[in-house]
Amino acid sequence: MLKLAFYGKGGIGKSTTVSNLASAFAANGLKIMQIGCDPKADSTASLHGGARIRSILDLVRERNNDFTLDEMVREGDGGVICVEAGGPTPGLGCAGRGIITALEKLQEKGAYDVYSPDVVLYDVLGDVVCGGFSMPMRKGYADRVFILTSGETMSIYAAANIAMAVKNFRGRGYASLGGFVLNRRNAPDEDAKAAKLAADFDSTVVGALDWSETVQQAEQLGKTVVHAFPDSPMAAQYRALADAVLAAARKGDAPC
């Protein structure tokens, strides 16, 4: 089982990218579990026709621990096993603590053993890398961290902060840095900026995605690009990225 966590600045396209990777992996015959670690609980929406599924924290609030593993997960397009951590009631509780609770419930109820996924994808909220938001990086959860960025200044800044956190956590046995993913926004010198960022952390840009209206069209249909437009150039980019991410993740201990 390979466990991969995806981080990046809020709005950089993590959920879209992770869901399309899940679709691409599943189309290649891999059993995939996608875990949304965002209080909005919308990571897996494009795998369910745009609908949000019930989150683990919703179940905890309503029924404490009186629910089954089957109620925590839902199968999405392509057979992807979907889970949403969810978040606290607005203004009450800690979102980071919510992620900890959700991931602990998955382990407690044997999710990884029961479903035996080949690849687990964690889609983690924004650029917060403290407290519960670092949970997917911890030993026993993710093996590799991939960081999404564009060439925009704040995106690069956030990506560097996340990479620094991965580096600092490394001594605790946390996940190592698998590499960066460039999600282009047509900013000046985008590729060069991403390459420099990766070099600063002795890493690489494992893949790049172009800005494309196809992504928005698929989202309006409540689907991933890989499912809605499988023959499109954008779907081909997601499939190529899926291959590159797997190759990077399966390498020996990645530098960071």
**Hey, which residues are catalytic here?**
9, 14, 40, 127
Q: Taking CA 120 as the corner, what is the angle to CA 119 and CA 125, rounded to the nearest 5 degrees? A: 145
> Which spans in 51-189 are helix H?
56-63, 95-108, 111-115, 153-169
CA–centroid distance for 85 within its chain? 12
Give the C-alpha separation, 236 to 245, whole Å. Answer: 14
Q: Which helix or strand (DSSP H or E) is residue 173 part of?
A: none
Q: Tokens representing 67?
A: 């629910």
Give the C-alpha separation, 133 to 11, whole Å. Answer: 16
Neighbouring CB atoms inside 10 A of 212's CB total 17
